[in-house]
Amino acid sequence: MKIEINDLRFTYPTGLEALQGISLTIEAGEQVAIVGQNGAGKTTLVRHFNGLLQPSSGSVLIGEWDTKKHSVAKLASRVGYVFQNPDEQLFSKDVGTEIRFGPRNLGYSKEKIDELVTRALSLTELSDKTDTNPYDLSPTWRKMAALASVIAMDTPIVIFDEPTTGQDAVNVARIANVIAELRKEGKTVITITHDIDFCAENFDRVIALSNGKILLDGSARDVLGQEEILAQTYVDPPQLTRLGKRLGLKETVRNQDEFLKALK
């Protein structure tokens, strides 16, 4: 499902102009990372994708739906959104019920819900914790439960806001795996992240925001190589990209495979 954003502007009631004319198109099945300094407008932008925020001017189209004309609850059938803090989301008595909440709201049949929940549980490696109370889970697993509860909604577009914040290496790998699976299923994944190495290893396209404007938008390789421009929005290129530059490799490398190949 295509996302089309046309000259989107947004001003908070305090007068802060958080978005100052954003235009972009995201095709179905793209894996997009949004990066940029604190306060650049990343969260404000993605909250327009499912109608949580309404443009002050300009438009946001999800498929053929204008977000101005559809409720958030309705848009939830197209756009899943995992919030940064799982504590703001989890409320059920057990993990299984928690994950059923979203698909049930969307009115799927019981069979379909069962299937979706089972799949979301196994994808997030939560299958053995179905009956656990979400509040008894460690923060790591609460994060995974929040992920599962949105993935189970089976939306064509999934948004993650800072999925790797405060997570250890093992869990970051788990989250990368979830994103890879969603990619295989042809879903659009949009992720806000400060973890630029995670970004380089898991996303094809990178959008760098700065002060409510698009600073860079393109393939991860093109964007992540632009050290000086990225610095304007407080982002460093990935570790291996910087290493490649220092070694004078001709092309921009993003991950281990590309780096080793370029080195040979």
Partner 1 sequence: MALVNLQNVTYKYPLTKTPALQNINLQIKEGEFVAVVGANGAGKSTLCYTLAGFAPHFFKGEMSGSIEVAGKESSKSTLDEWVLNVGLAFQNPFNQISGAKYTVFEEIAFGLENIGVPRDEMKDRVNDALALTGITDLADRSPYSLSGGQQQRVALTSILVMQPKLLVLDEPTSQMDPIGTREVFSVIRKMAEGGMTVVMVEHKMEWIAQFADRVIALKDGSILLEGKPGEVLTSDVLAENGFGISRYTSTAREAKKQGLWKKEKLPVTLDEAVEGFKK
Partner 2 sequence: MHERLSFHIKRDSVLHRLNPLTKLTLVLALIMVAFTSPWYWTPHLLFLFVIIPLSFIGKVFREFFFAATRLILPAAGFLFLMQAFFQPIGEHVIFKFYFLDITQESLMFAFKNAMRVIVMVSSFTLFLLTTHPSELMSDLTRRGLPGQFAYVIISTLQILPQIQSKSQTIISAQRSRGLDTEGNFFKRAGSLVPLVGPLVFGSLVEVEERAIAIEARGFTSKSIKTSLYEIADTSFEKIIRWGLIIIIILSIVLNIWL
28 lies in the binding site for partner 1 (CB under 8 A): no
Pick the piece of the chain touching partner 2 (CB under 8 A) from 54-62, 145-153, 204-212, 236-244: 145-153
The residue within the footprint of partner 1, chosen from 65, 83, 101, 234 (CB under 8 A), is: 234
Nearest CA to 231 among 242, 240, 244, 221?
242
Amino acid at 251: E
DSSP tag of 242: H
Instruction: Name the β-bridge partners of 50.
Output: none
- 81 or 198: CB nearest partner 1: 198
List the beta bridge partners of residue 17: 11
CB of 88 to partner 2, least distance (A): 5
Nearer to partner 2, 52 or 61 (CB): 52
Q: 12-31 mask for partner 2 (x: CB under 8 A)? A: xxx-x---------------
> Which 8-state DSSP code applies to residue 262?
H
Q: Number of residues interacting with partner 1: please give it, by CB under 8 A.
A: 38
CB atoms within 10 A of CB 185: 12
CA Rg value for the chain? 19
CB-count burial class (<10 Å; 0-12, 13-18, 19+) for 79: buried
Rule CB under 8 A: is residue 156 a binding residue for partner 2? no
CB of 94 to partner 2, least distance (A): 13
**Residue 90 or 175 having the CB closest to partner 2:** 90
Residue the block writes with tokens 């004078």: 248
Is 88 an interacting residue with respect to partner 2 (CB under 8 A)? yes
Query: CA angle 47-48-49, nearest 5°?
Result: 90
Helix (H/G/I), strand (E/B), else coil: 245: helix
Which chain residues interact with partner 1 by CB under 8 A? 14, 36-39, 84, 138-140, 162, 165-172, 194, 196-197, 231, 233-236, 238-240, 242-243, 246-247, 256, 259-260, 263-264
Which chain residues interact with partner 2 by CB under 8 A? 12-14, 16, 47, 50, 52, 71-73, 76-77, 79-81, 83, 87-92, 101-102, 105-106, 135, 149-150, 153
